[in-house]
Homo-oligomer: A and B are copies of this chain.
């Protein structure tokens, strides 16, 4: 098991993928209002190896966008993301969550994306021990994993920084994610490792070694020493305190050979800049500090 994209981790930046969030995909009126086609062309020109899209950008054009990426010589590395699978009730409850989960799988399959990212949602209301929410999460993933497998889609469970533990995640560490993987036991379920979320974890090398081939994605940015916003103040690689080379070494040592996906939410800095400058900076930093 594992993503079907295999690259060497050389200093060649074809191992680099862009997550479109890095261009401020949800900031109205910004240059990052670029169409998927503009993003694809700009990444291809710069030698990126792949792109990760968000559902809102894909809409009904999954096949078309996927083909365009491949025609440009790149891969659709992933799709962001499933709906929250746990947490406060949404209208329609469990059935509505699962319908949207299946829809996200269909879109990933349409794009030809090998990986669909799972952001779990927060703790279930009034269910205090966090592991109880993880069990509900596991049950819901188990219902969808075979459907995804039939469509060639791997599911990457992404632990989020504990600061999101109130309402966005019930999986805080790679070890948490592996516990849920073990509960589900599906061959197409693994883990997405995002340095923003896990950089602080001194047990990370051990957890990554245990994860091994279950690492389905590796996400880059940096943790700024003076982070000013919990959601939208991620740093460019090299501008923060995360041990990027050390984490990448541990991810490699565990056997990961997929692309490195740059995902920077930065409403006051990088989203204010020209997308071309951002894309060039990402390449420079990837070669120099990652």
Contacts and interface: CB of A to CB of B under 8 A. Distances in A.
What secondary structure prevails in chain A residues at the interface with B?
loop
16 contacts: A122-B241, A123-B241, A128-B241, A128-B243, A128-B245, A131-B202, A162-B162, A162-B201, A163-B230, A165-B241, A166-B224, A166-B226, A166-B227, A167-B226, A172-B202, A176-B202
Query: Looking at chain A, what size class is its interface with the partner chain?
Result: 35 or more
Given A165-B200, A172-B201, A175-B202, 18 more contacts: A122-B225, A128-B243, A129-B246, A162-B162, A162-B200, A162-B201, A163-B163, A163-B230, A165-B199, A166-B225, A166-B226, A166-B240, A166-B241, A172-B202, A173-B202, A175-B203, A227-B230, A230-B230
Contacts of A202: 130-131, 134, 172-173, 175-176, 179
Contacts of A172: 200-202
A223 interface: yes
Interface in A87-138: 88, 122-123, 128-131, 134
A161 interface: yes
How many copies of the shown chain assemble into the complex?
2
B161 A163 contact: yes
A240 B130 CA distance: 13
Contacts of A225: 88, 122-123, 166-167
Contacts of A130: 200, 202, 243
A219 to B, nearest CB: 16
Most buried by B among A134, A200, A226: A200
Contacts of A173: 202
A226 B164 CA distance: 9
A245 B179 CA distance: 23
A134 B129 CA distance: 30
A223 B167 CA distance: 10
A252 B139 CA distance: 32
A194 to B, nearest CB: 13
Given A122-B225, A179-B202, A163 B166 contact: no
Contacts of A224: 166
Nearest to A246: B129
Nearest to A167: B225
